[in-house]
C-alpha cells in the first residue's frame, strides 16, 4: 500500500514538473502548480504514516491546503487581470507585449 502511495507521489511530481516546464499557458502553469502541491500534500501524509506522527502531518496538510487556496485565488486574479490587459494567456506573447 505504501509503495502505491510513493509511486503516486512520484507520478504527481513528474506530471507537475513536466507541465510547468513544457507549457506556455498561464492557466496550465497554475494547474501544474496545483498538481505539485497535491504531491507535497500526499508526501506529508506518507511521511506522517511512516513515522507514526499522523496528528502533526494532518495539521501541516490542513495548513498547506489553506495556503494553497489563498495562493490559487490570488494567482487566478492576477491571471484574469493579465488576460484583460493583453487578451492572451501565452507567456511568450505577454513578454513580447511587455517590451
Across the 99 residues of the chain, what is the mean pLDDT of every consecutive 10-residue run?
A: 88 95 94 95 93 95 96 96 93 84
Q: What is the span of the domain harbouring residue 76?
A: 2-98
**Coil, helix or strand at residue 90:** strand
Here the cell at position 56 is 502533526
Question: How many structural domains comprise the chain?
Answer: 1
CB 48 within 8 A of CB 59: no
Residue 40 exposure: Cα atoms within 13 Å on the Cβ side: 16
User: How far, rounded to the nearest angstrom, does the alpha carbon of residue 37 sit from its chain's CA centroid?
Assistant: 4
pLDDT score for 99: 64
pLDDT score for 2: 78
pLDDT score for 1: 78
HEC readout, 22-55? HCCEHHHHHHHHHHHHHHHHHHHHHHHHHHCCHH
CATH of the domain at 50: 1.10.287.3510
Amino acid at each position: 500500500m505504501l509503495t502505491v502511495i510513493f509511486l503516486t507521489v512520484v507520478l504527481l511530481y513528474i506530471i507537475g514538473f513536466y507541465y510547468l516546464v513544457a507549457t506556455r499557458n498561464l492557466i496550465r502553469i497554475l494547474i501544474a502548480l496545483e498538481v505539485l502541491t497535491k504531491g507535497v500534500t500526499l508526501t506529508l501524509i506518507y511521511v506522517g504514516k511512516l513515522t507514526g506522527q499522523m496528528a502533526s502531518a494532518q495539521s501541516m496538510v490542513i495548513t498547506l491546503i489553506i495556503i494553497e487556496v489563498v495562493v490559487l485565488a490570488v494567482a487566478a486574479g492576477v491571471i484574469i487581470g493579465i488576460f484583460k490587459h493583453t487578451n492572451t494567456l501565452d507567456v511568450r506573447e505577454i513578454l513580447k507585449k511587455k517590451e
